[in-house]
């Protein structure tokens, strides 16, 4: 059975998902739901305890939980809200639920980069791959999640190889570098301070180096990571506790931390500006939670941009890629249909197997009873065996064909289960109570 768009319908829920992103939640909400990277392993273990299996996709702009089976969305929302230490009412308001086909298509769109703030960006595909690797490491995967994420990753690659969605694509990090180039025309003479040596900070700093920035200083809570990034970029490091002093020498600050509390406050930034004798400073804050408290934006001489301020550039980029988005959506539609067909067969095949095994058991039992009553020759035994096999095959042909055609409708599976007593604990040859 298919829906009005020609895709198979799935009646029994196979997948429940809740999530929020830049599309439905402002930065002030997203940062409240941000779960620190070092806390995620424990959260994934808790997913196993509560749901048996489940995958979390957590990036600077989204938090999503995919759980196999039919679950109350509020249960998933409450779980993520508790993991992020926010109230359940906030979770139920912002963590949007999706099921089955919608959930599958959504993950495909995420992996393909068309649900990102910057359409076509490539970082998300690695993040989806990393999310599933972490799911496997936590023992939180199962057959459905494995198929779902592997097909999502494959689709993400196809989207970038079969369409131009990723050609010349920007990223949040490259847009941050663009902002610096636009507001600090002479980057060759500019000094850049990068706070946070994670992937976002690394990419933004690398983009600035490509734009010819003169000097880069890196600071990170883990000194070894700061040293590795500084060596890669040809820069230097400053201890994390000395960021305040380093601000005074910075023309551009790229803040990309995942610290739970702001690293930059208005007093620290104002003091740095005094020491640089009022020279302007650009702060591009791409951290979630934000690395700077809101009052920093009001400090005279500071131009402040947070991740949502970069949306205007990202939106113009998305409009220019509308045709490619349509091509990617066609790939998603086809891949989603293929996934649903796989799921239906996954549900139907065990039922068909159980039905044929029960019929075969009954055939063999009755054949043995019959043959014990007279002295049949080997040839007669073979003939009776072949005849009963053919008879059972013909009897089961129509029920099995109907299951293959309508197995996506739970009523057919229930009917076969009931009519042939496949769940009956009585003996398989039908000797149980009527």
Catalytic residues: 60
Cβ-contact 131, 56 below 8 angstroms: yes
CB 286 within 8 A of CB 61: no
Q: In what order do the strands lie in the sheet with 215-219?
A: 236-237, 215-219, 191-195, 252-255, 281-285, 302-306
- Write out the DSSP string of 296-365: GGGSTTEEEEEGGGGHHHHHHHHHTTHHHHHHHHHHHHHHHHHHHHHHHHHHHHHHHHHHHHHHHHHHHH
Find out whether 328 and 159 touch, Cβ atoms under 8 Å: yes
DSSP state for residue 241 in the 8-state scheme: G
Q: How many CA atoms lie within 13 A of 426 on its CB side?
A: 10
The token pair that represents 315 in the structure block: 């939106």
Residue keyed to tokens 């902002």: 179
If we measure between CA atoms, which residue out of 86, 100, 200, 264 comes closest to residue 63?
86
* Residue 170, number of CB atoms within 10 A of its CB: 21
3 state DSSP class of 378: helix
Cis peptide bond prior to 289, omega within 30° of 0: yes
Radius of gyration (C-alpha) of the chain in whole angstroms: 30
What are the backbone angles phi and psi of residue 236, rounded to the nearest 5°?
A: -130, 175
Distances (CA, A) of 45 to 16, 134, 136, 137: 18, 10, 11, 10
């Amino acid at each position: 059975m298919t829906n009005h768009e020609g895709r198979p319908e799935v009646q029994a829920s196979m997948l429940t998902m809740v999530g929020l992103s830049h599309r439905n939640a402002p930065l002030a909400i997203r940062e409240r739901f941000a779960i620190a990277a070092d806390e995620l392993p424990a959260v994934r273990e808790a997913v196993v305890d509560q749901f048996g299996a489940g995958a979390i996709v957590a990036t600077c702009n989204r938090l999503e939980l995919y759980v196999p089976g039919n679950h109350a969305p509020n249960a998933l929302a409450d779980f993520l809200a508790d993991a992020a230490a926010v109230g359940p009412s906030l979770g139920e308001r912002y963590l949007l639920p999706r099921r089955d086909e919608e959930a599958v298509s959504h993950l495909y769109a995420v992996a393909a980069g068309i649900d990102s703030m910057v359409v076509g960006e490539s970082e998300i595909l690695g993040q989806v791959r990393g999310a599933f690797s972490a799911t496997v490491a936590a023992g939180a995967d199962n057959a459905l999640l494995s198929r779902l994420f592997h097909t999502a990753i494959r689709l993400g690659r196809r989207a970038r190889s079969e369409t131009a969605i990723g050609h010349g694509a920007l990223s949040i990090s490259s847009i941050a570098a663009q902002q610096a180039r636009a507001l600090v025309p002479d980057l060759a003479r500019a000094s850049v301070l990068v706070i946070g040596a994670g992937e976002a900070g690394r990419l933004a700093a690398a983009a600035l180096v490509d734009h010819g920035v003169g000097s880069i200083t890196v600071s990170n809570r883990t000194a070894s990571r700061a040293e590795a990034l500084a060596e890669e970029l040809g820069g230097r490091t400053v201890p994390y506790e000395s960021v305040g002093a380093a601000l005074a020498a910075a023309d551009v600050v790229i803040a990309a931390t995942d610290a739970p509390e702001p690293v930059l406050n208005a007093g620290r930034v104002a003091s740095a500006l005094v020491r640089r004798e009022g020279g302007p400073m650009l702060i591009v804050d791409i951290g979630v939670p934000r690395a700077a408290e809101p009052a920093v934006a009001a400090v005279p001489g500071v131009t402040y941009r947070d991740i949502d301020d970069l949306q205007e550039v990202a939106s113009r980029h998305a409009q220019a890629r509308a045709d490619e988005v349509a091509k990617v959506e066609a790939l998603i539609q086809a891949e989603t249909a293929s996934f649903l067909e796989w799921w239906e067969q996954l549900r139907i095949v065990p039922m068909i197997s159980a039905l044929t095994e029960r019929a075969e058991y009954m055939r063999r039992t009755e054949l043995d009873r019959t043959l014990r009553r007279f002295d049949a020759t080997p040839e007669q035994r073979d003939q009776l065996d072949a005849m009963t096999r053919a008879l059972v095959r013909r009897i089961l042909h129509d029920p099995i064909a109907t299951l293959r055609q309508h197995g996506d409708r739970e009523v057919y599976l229930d009917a076969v289960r009931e009519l042939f007593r496949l769940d009956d604990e009585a003996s398989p040859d039908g000797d149980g109570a009527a």
